[in-house]
């Protein structure tokens, strides 16, 4: 997206608030409201005033308008910006805890699962995306990216997009791809790779059909070849050209573990960071998942170019990939967001739990001051927004999208921690929100998802998961 475009859109949006009034929503009396604004204000007795899909005012409740079309009294709650998930493979929620892939490292884990995923159907993609999004929404996430890179049996990215529209999640849909199968020296079986011309044509179709570059966009499309070990150099380059032609973001996996580094050195004669630079895969419009093994040169390069990283601590532990040097990256100016990663390598895709693991893992690797609870929250909100290339989410301030969540502080897990409810959110890791609002729409109320009836979805999901795992036997 062009910065000049963004500014003029921001101005017109701000002017819009003084013109015709839309539906209003008042949130008041939160025990604590975390803004993540420039001053990082935390407001006791705070509230928000929303018109349509955006925030108009934030502050102590007695400084806000008295009433609105809808009023939510958040006494006893902590209110904060909706969390941003920067890396996921939602279809994998059909293959959590698969016995053959429980105890393997990345390449072995992938090899065991590719043959299962080869039997995915469009219905499976749609239902598993709904389930994965429900899990994210209930755990505090309001914007998520999803990296779908396998399209067997007529599956399309449109299947995920339909799910996002149905459930009401702000969505960055990544058109992944794999083009180098085993016969060409890649990792995936030949049956699940696609032709490169077809990949590029479908990616272009998706951008032209769905991508919304505007402020407060609910849906953006991302160009996202799966990884250097599953697509060609040409496809990486041509994907970058396509993405930059349309001004959309680019995403892939990079430097995930030591075998990934060895593959890069052997195949390309370069480290993953050098390879990314050589392909044009650095810049503010690019973010890479994992980067556990990003070296000093890579950290400096990403910092200088504003190349983002999706940090996925649970997955990195699950696959024993290592500990990403997040503190070093942030000190070097690398934008860092949080990602739950695919549900086959987490396998619990809950955002507050992920923020807690980011904090704990940083301490295991680099000492007790390597990450504070508030830094973990910042990565999960503002960090994720920056990684996705957005300046309209991640903080509660006038002109920002009305995306916020609330946690009920009167739960056993918070008892004794109310002297610092903000830190308690990360240290105590509640699993479910009481309230979630996205673009001014209430998506979760009193802990219940409002947009989709979950019971039948979970039943369908489990039936399809059984079919899928069975089909590979």
Binding residues for Zn ion (CB under 5 A): 289, 341
| Sign of the CA dihedral with 116 first, then 121, 127, and 132 last | positive
SS3 per-residue string spanning 54-88: EEEEEEEHHHCCCCCCEEEECCCEEEEECEEECCC
The distance of closest approach from Cβ of residue 161 to Zn ion in the complex, given in angstroms and rounded to an integer, is 19
Q: Is 439 left (phi over 0), alpha (psi -120 to 50) or beta?
A: left
Q: Which is nearer to Zn ion, 321 or 436 (CB)?
A: 321
The distance of closest approach from Cβ of residue 285 to Zn ion in the complex, given in angstroms and rounded to an integer, is 19
Strand partners, 70: 25
Give the distance from CA 143 to its chain's centroid: 7
Contact (Cβ atoms closer than 8 angstroms) between residue 118 and residue 190: no
Q: Which is nearer to Zn ion, 131 or 252 (CB)?
A: 252
- The C-alpha torsion from 336 through 338 and 343 to 349, rounded to 10°, is 180
Q: Which residues does 88 contact at the CB level (< 8 Å), separation at least 6?
A: 132, 136, 144, 145, 146, 147, 339, 340, 341, 342, 343, 349
Q: Which is nearer to Zn ion, 53 or 321 (CB)?
A: 321
Contact (Cβ atoms closer than 8 angstroms) between residue 85 and residue 142: no
Q: Which is nearer to Zn ion, 30 or 379 (CB)?
A: 379
Q: Which is nearer to Zn ion, 289 or 326 (CB)?
A: 289
CA distance 145 to 340: 10
Q: Which is nearer to Zn ion, 254 or 428 (CB)?
A: 254
CA distance 308 to 219: 20
The distance of closest approach from Cβ of residue 100 to Zn ion in the complex, given in angstroms and rounded to an integer, is 19
CA distance 198 to 329: 36
Q: Which is nearer to Zn ion, 181 or 342 (CB)?
A: 342
**Hey, how many other C-beta atoms are within 10 angstroms of the C-beta on 361?**
21
The distance of closest approach from Cβ of residue 288 to Zn ion in the complex, given in angstroms and rounded to an integer, is 10
The distance of closest approach from Cβ of residue 146 to Zn ion in the complex, given in angstroms and rounded to an integer, is 10
Distance of CA 19 to CAs 69, 325, 396, Å?
17, 47, 21
Q: Which is nearer to Zn ion, 345 or 451 (CB)?
A: 345
The distance of closest approach from Cβ of residue 450 to Zn ion in the complex, given in angstroms and rounded to an integer, is 30
The distance of closest approach from Cβ of residue 368 to Zn ion in the complex, given in angstroms and rounded to an integer, is 29
Q: Which is nearer to Zn ion, 29 or 315 (CB)?
A: 315
The distance of closest approach from Cβ of residue 382 to Zn ion in the complex, given in angstroms and rounded to an integer, is 22
The distance of closest approach from Cβ of residue 78 to Zn ion in the complex, given in angstroms and rounded to an integer, is 30
Helix 258-268 / helix 272-279 crossing angle, nearest 10 deg: 50
Bond into 347 cis (ω within 30)? yes
Q: Which is nearer to Zn ion, 340 or 370 (CB)?
A: 340
Query: For tokens 């987490």, what's the residue?
Result: 346
């Amino acid at each position: 997206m062009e910065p000049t475009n963004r500014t003029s859109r921001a101005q017109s949006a701000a002017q819009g608030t003084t013109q015709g009034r839309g539906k209003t929503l008042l949130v008041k009396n939160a025990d604590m409201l975390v803004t993540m604004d420039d001053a990082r204000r935390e407001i006791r007795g705070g509230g928000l005033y929303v018109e349509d899909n955006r925030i108009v005012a934030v502050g102590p409740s007695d400084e806000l308008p008295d009433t609105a079309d809808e009023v939510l009294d958040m006494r006893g709650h902590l209110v904060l910006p909706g969390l941003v998930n920067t890396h996921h493979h939602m279809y994998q929620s059909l293959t959590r805890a698969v016995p053959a892939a429980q105890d393997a490292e990345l390449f072995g884990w992938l090899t065991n699962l590719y043959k299962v995923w080869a039997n995915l159907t469009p219905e499976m993609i749609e239902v598993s995306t709904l389930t994965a999004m429900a899990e994210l929404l209930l755990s505090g996430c309001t914007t998520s990216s999803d990296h779908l890179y396998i399209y067997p049996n007529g599956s399309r990215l449109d299947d995920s997009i339909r799910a996002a529209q149905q459930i009401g999640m702000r969505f960055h849909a990544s058109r992944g791809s794999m083009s180098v199968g085993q016969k060409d020296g890649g990792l995936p079986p030949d049956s699940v790779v696609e032709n490169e011309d077809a990949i590029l044509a479908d990616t272009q179709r998706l951008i032209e059909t769905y991508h919304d570059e505007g402020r407060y966009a609910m849906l953006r499309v991302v160009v996202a070849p799966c990884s250097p070990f599953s697509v060609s150099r040409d496809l990486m380059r041509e994907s970058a050209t396509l993405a930059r032609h349309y001004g959309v973001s680019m995403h892939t996996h990079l430097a995930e573990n030591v075998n990934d580094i060895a593959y890069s050195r052997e195949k390309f004669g370069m480290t993953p960071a050098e390879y990314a630079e050589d392909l044009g895969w650095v810049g503010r419009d690019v973010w890479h998942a994992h980067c556990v093994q990003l070296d000093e040169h890579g950290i400096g390069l990403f910092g200088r170019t504003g190349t983002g990283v999706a940090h996925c601590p649970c997955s990195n532990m699950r696959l024993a990939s290592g500990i990403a040097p997040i503190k070093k990256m942030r000190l070097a100016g690398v934008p860092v967001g949080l990602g739950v990663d695919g549900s086959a390598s987490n396998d619990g895709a809950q955002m507050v739990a992920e923020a807690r693991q980011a904090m704990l893992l940083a301490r295991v690797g680099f000492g007790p001051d390597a990450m504070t609870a508030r830094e973990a929250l910042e990565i999960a909100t503002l960090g994720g927004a920056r990684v996705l290339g957005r300046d309209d989410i991640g903080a509660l301030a006038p002109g920002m999208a009305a995306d916020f969540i609330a946690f009920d502080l009167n739960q056993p897990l918070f008892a004794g921690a109310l002297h610092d409810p903000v830190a308690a959110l990360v240290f105590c890791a509640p699993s479910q929100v009481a309230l979630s609002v996205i673009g001014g729409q209430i998506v979760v109320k009193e802990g219940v998802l409002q947009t989709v009836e979950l019971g039948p979805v979970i039943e369908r999901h489990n039936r399809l998961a059984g079919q899928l795992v069975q089909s590979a036997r």
